[in-house]
Structure 1
Amino acid sequence: MLRTIHAIRTPHRLLKLQLSNQLRTVTTTASGKPEGTIADSFASLSGQQFEALEPRFATVKENLIRGNEEAVKASWDRLLLTLKDEVQEIKRVGSSIVPQIDFKDIDTPSEKFSSEYRKRGVAVIKGAIPEAEALQMKEDLKEYIKANPQTKSFSAQVFELYWSKSQIRARGHPNLLKAQQFLLSYWHSKDPNALFSDTPISYCDRLRMREPGDAKFALGPHVDGGSCERWEDTGYGRGQVYKDIWQGNWEKYDPWESSSRLPVESDLYQGAGACSAFRAAQGWLSMSHTSAFEGTLLVNPLLQLATAYFLLRPFFTPTVGPSARVSVSGAIEQANTEEYLSPENWKLEDKPSSWLQGANLGRGQELNALLHPHLNLPETMVHIPKVQPGDYVVWHCDGIHAVDKTHAGKSDSSVLYIPACPLTERNAEYLVRQRECFLRGTPSPDFPGGVGEGQHVGRAVQVDIALVSGVDGLRAMGLERFDEGMGHTPGEKQVMASANRILGFN
Structure 2
Amino acid sequence: MEFKPLEPRFAEIKRQLIAGKGDALHRSWIRLLASLREEIPLIAKLGSRVVPVIDFKDIDNASPEFRAEHKKRGVAVIRNVIPRQEALDLKQELREYIAANPHTKAFPKDSPQVFELYWSPAQIKARSHSNMIKAQRFLMEFWHSKDPNALISSSHPLIYADRLRMRLPGDNKFALGPHVDSGSCERWEAEGYGRGHVFDSIWEGKWEDYDPWESSSRLQAQPDLYQGVGACSASRMFQGWLSMSETAPYEGTLLVNPLLSRATAYYLLRPFFSPKIAARDPTAETYDEAFLADENWQLEPEPTSWLQGASPGHCQELRAALHPHLNLPSSMVHVPKVQPGDYVSWHCDTIHGVDSVHAGSMDSSVLYIPSCPLTVANAEFVAQQREAFLNGWPCPDFGGGIGESQHVGRPGVEDVEKVNSGDGLQAFGLKAFDGEAEGLTDGQREVIDRANKILGFYQ
Instruction: With the length of structure 1 as denominator, give the TM-score of the two structures.
Output: 0.87
Provide the residue aligned with 1:496 in structure 2. 448
Aligned-residue sequence identity (percent) comes to 61
Partner SS for 1:393: strand
Partners of 1:293 and 1:69 in 2: CA distance: 42
Provide the residue aligned with 2:357 in structure 1. 406
**Residues 25 and 204, structure 2, Cα contact 8 Å, conserved in 1:** yes
Question: Which deviates the most, 79-88 or 332-341?
Answer: 332-341
Partners of 1:97 and 1:381 in 2: CA distance: 11
Provide the residue aligned with 1:145 in structure 2. 98
Partners of 2:184 and 2:196 in 1: CA distance: 16
Letter in 1 for 2:332: M
User: For residues 360-401 of structure 1, what are the alpha-carbon distances to aligned partners after superposition, in whole Å with 9 as ceiling and x for unaligned?
Assistant: 222111111111111001111111111000000001000011
Provide the residue aligned with 1:89 in structure 2. 42
User: For residues 389-446 of structure 1, what are the alpha-carbon distances to aligned partners after superposition, in whole Å with 9 as ceiling and x for unaligned?
Assistant: 0000001000011111100000000000101111111111111121122122222122
Q: Does 1:79 align with 2:32?
A: yes
User: Which of residues 291, 308, 319 in structure 2 aligns to 1:340?
Assistant: 291
Within 5 Å, which residues of 2 pair with 1:61-460?
Answer: 61-155=14-108, 156-197=112-153, 198-324=155-281, 333=284, 335-460=286-411
Partners of 2:240 and 2:417 in 1: CA distance: 24
Partners of 1:57 and 1:336 in 2: CA distance: 28
Which consecutive unaligned segments of at least 5 residues does structure 2 have?
none
Partner SS for 1:473: helix
Letter in 2 for 1:463: E
Distance 1:169 1:335, change over 3 A: closer
Partners of 1:146 and 1:247 in 2: CA distance: 56
**Residues 276 and 298, structure 2, Cα contact 8 Å, conserved in 1:** yes
Partners of 2:240 and 2:451 in 1: CA distance: 24
Q: Does 1:53 align with 2:9?
A: no
Letter in 2 for 1:403: V
Deviation at 1:474, TM superposition (A): 1.1
Deviation at 1:60, TM superposition (A): 1.7
Distance 1:82 1:132, change over 3 A: same
The total of aligned residue pairs comes to 453
**Residues 322 and 334, structure 1, Cα contact 8 Å, conserved in 2:** no
Which consecutive unaligned segments of at least 5 residues does structure 1 have?
1-47, 326-331
**Residues 323 and 334, structure 1, Cα contact 8 Å, conserved in 2:** no
Letter in 2 for 1:131: R
Partner SS for 2:92: helix
**Residues 273 and 448, structure 1, Cα contact 8 Å, conserved in 2:** no
User: For residues 276-328 of structure 1, what are the alpha-carbon distances to aligned partners after superposition, in whole Å with 9 as ceiling and x for unaligned?
Assistant: 22100110000000001000111111001000001111111111111229xxx
Partners of 2:365 and 2:285 in 1: CA distance: 35
**Residues 286 and 320, structure 2, Cα contact 8 Å, conserved in 1:** no
Question: Which deviates the most, 482-491 or 212-221?
Answer: 482-491
Partners of 2:426 and 2:351 in 1: CA distance: 31
Give me the CA root mean square deviation: 1.4
Provide the residue aligned with 1:23 in structure 2. none
Letter in 1 for 2:202: I
Letter in 2 for 1:105: D
Distance 1:271 1:448, change over 3 A: farther
Distance 1:104 1:247, change over 3 A: same
Letter in 2 for 1:448: G
Letter in 2 for 1:165: P
Partners of 1:385 and 1:439 in 2: CA distance: 37
Deviation at 1:192, TM superposition (A): 1.3
